[in-house]
């Protein structure tokens, strides 16, 4: 079943199509949830709630060509994760970080030696507020104004948390590179 047919049948409440949608996209959407939430068990709960929201709101989806369904699903899941984080009200908690570096030690060639799984683990380990802003800025390509509106924080807090997230990542990368 192609994406257009899958979207149409899900919109009509076809349970077989819904099952296929889940099987086809759950892995990618779970990755989004883990990226924002950090904890796998909680991310699974958010994924479940996100799919319930997706199935309830298919009437709001308009197919606009190949890839539009996947993009819509990702957007719904990001919003679900952000909603969860807002409920936890920790997105604007800040942690004082002392003596963080401004840049990665060494050259760009050694940066490429760090496995993507290690970098994703470093992101997962960021404090929740930093991780949320970092994900929105880097992966979702949102600006500070939009992030501030989405999270109910100021633009300054968004940029501050992004700076601190990057600084923590740089510290983790430098420490990792010293170990290898």
Does the pLDDT of residue 2 top 70, yes or no?
Answer: yes
Residues 162 and 134 sit within 8 Å (Cβ to Cβ):
yes
Mean pLDDT score of the chain: 86
109 vs 128, residue with greater confidence: 128
Rounded Cα distance, 37 and 45, in Å: 10
pLDDT-derived band at 8, boundaries 50, 70, 90: very high
pLDDT-derived band at 10, boundaries 50, 70, 90: very high
Does the pLDDT of residue 112 top 70, yes or no?
Answer: no
pLDDT-derived band at 105, boundaries 50, 70, 90: low
Does the pLDDT of residue 165 top 60, yes or no?
Answer: yes
Rounded Cα distance, 108 and 113, in Å: 9
Please count the CA atoms within 13 angstroms of the CA of 139 that sit on its side-chain side: 17
Residues 41 and 33 sit within 8 Å (Cβ to Cβ):
no
Burial category of 151 from C-beta neighbours within 10 Å (exposed 0-12, middle 13-18, buried 19 and up): buried
Q: Which of 12-16, 58-62, 111-115, 117-121: highest mean pLDDT?
A: 12-16
How many residues in total does the chain contain?
Answer: 180
Does the pLDDT of residue 109 top 80, yes or no?
Answer: no
pTM of this prediction exceeds 0.95:
no
Rounded Cα distance, 34 and 13, in Å: 28
Rounded Cα distance, 162 and 137, in Å: 8
SS3 153: coil
90 vs 165, residue with greater confidence: 165
Domains and CATH numbers, the chain: 3-88 (1.10.1740.10), 108-179 (1.10.10.10)
pLDDT-derived band at 33, boundaries 50, 70, 90: very high
């Amino acid at each position: 079943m192609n994406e257009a047919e899958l979207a149409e049948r899900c919109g009509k409440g076809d349970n077989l199509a819904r099952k296929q949608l889940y099987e086809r996209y759950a892995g990618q959407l779970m990755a989004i949830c883990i990226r924002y939430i950090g904890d796998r068990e909680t991310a699974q709960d958010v994924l479940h709630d996100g799919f319930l929201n997706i199935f309830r709101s298919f009437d709001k989806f308009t197919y606009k060509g190949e890839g539009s369904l996947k993009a819509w699903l990702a957007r719904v899941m990001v919003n679900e994760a952000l909603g969860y984080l807002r409920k936890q009200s920790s997105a604007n908690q800040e942690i004082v970080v002392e003596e963080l570096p401004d840049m990665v030690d060494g050259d760009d060639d050694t940066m490429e030696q760090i496995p993507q799984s290690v970098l994703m683990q470093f992101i997962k380990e960021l404090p929740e507020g930093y991780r949320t802003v970092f994900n929105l800025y880097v992966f979702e390509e949102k600006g500070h104004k939009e992030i501030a509106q989405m999270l109910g924080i100021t633009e300054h807090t968004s940029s501050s948390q992004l700076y601190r997230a990057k600084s923590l990542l740089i510290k983790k990368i430098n420490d990792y590179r010293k170990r290898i």
